[in-house]
């Protein structure tokens, strides 16, 4: 079972906007993105792989919410395909110009706010001792 670090209610509190109808799917995909970004991070987990340190759990929650917020703002549906198009519109917001995604297929297009939260918590860059 995949780990999901935030709930739809936490996403709504983070963004201050109504919960998207596919919030659970978006949160699951964003949690996978955060896991991929933290492949070398070291922190204690329980048997389900969830962090046991409350500060780490809060950081992962915030990073996942920031990742979903970023994907919604860029018109991504969690698949990464939005980075391939020249124009994206969401309601009254319109973005144009080509947005390059990750440099390589295996890299994560990590939201800047998610990256900063993970860095402040000492989870990035990940190190193995």
Q: Which two tokens stand for residue 119?
A: 């860095």
- CA distance linking residue 117 with residue 74, whole number of Å: 19
- CA distance linking residue 113 with residue 64, whole number of Å: 10
- CA distance linking residue 54 with residue 17, whole number of Å: 25
What pLDDT, on a 0 to 100 scale, did the predictor assign at position 126?
A: 62
What is the number of residues in the chain?
Answer: 129
What pLDDT, on a 0 to 100 scale, did the predictor assign at position 74?
A: 85
Q: Number of helices and strands (H, E) in the chain?
A: 4, 2
What pLDDT, on a 0 to 100 scale, did the predictor assign at position 97?
A: 63
Mean pLDDT by 10 residues, the chain (129 residues): 93 96 95 92 92 96 97 77 60 64 65 92 72
What pLDDT, on a 0 to 100 scale, did the predictor assign at position 54?
A: 97
What pLDDT, on a 0 to 100 scale, did the predictor assign at position 77?
A: 67
């Amino acid at each position: 079972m995949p780990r999901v670090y935030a709930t739809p209610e936490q996403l709504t509190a983070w963004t201050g906007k109504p919960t998207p109808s596919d919030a659970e799917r978006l949160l699951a995909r964003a949690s996978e993105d955060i896991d991929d970004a933290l492949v070398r991070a070291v922190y204690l987990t329980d048997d389900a792989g969830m962090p046991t340190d409350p500060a780490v759990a809060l950081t992962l929650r915030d990073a996942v919410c920031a990742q979903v917020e970023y994907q919604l703002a860029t018109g991504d549906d969690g698949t990464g395909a939005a980075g391939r198009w020249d124009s994206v519109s969401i309601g009254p917001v319109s973005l144009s110009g080509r947005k390059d995604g990750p440099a390589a297929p295996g890299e994560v297009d990590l939201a800047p706010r998610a990256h900063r939260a993970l860095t402040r918590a000492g989870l990035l860059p990940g190190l193995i001792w």
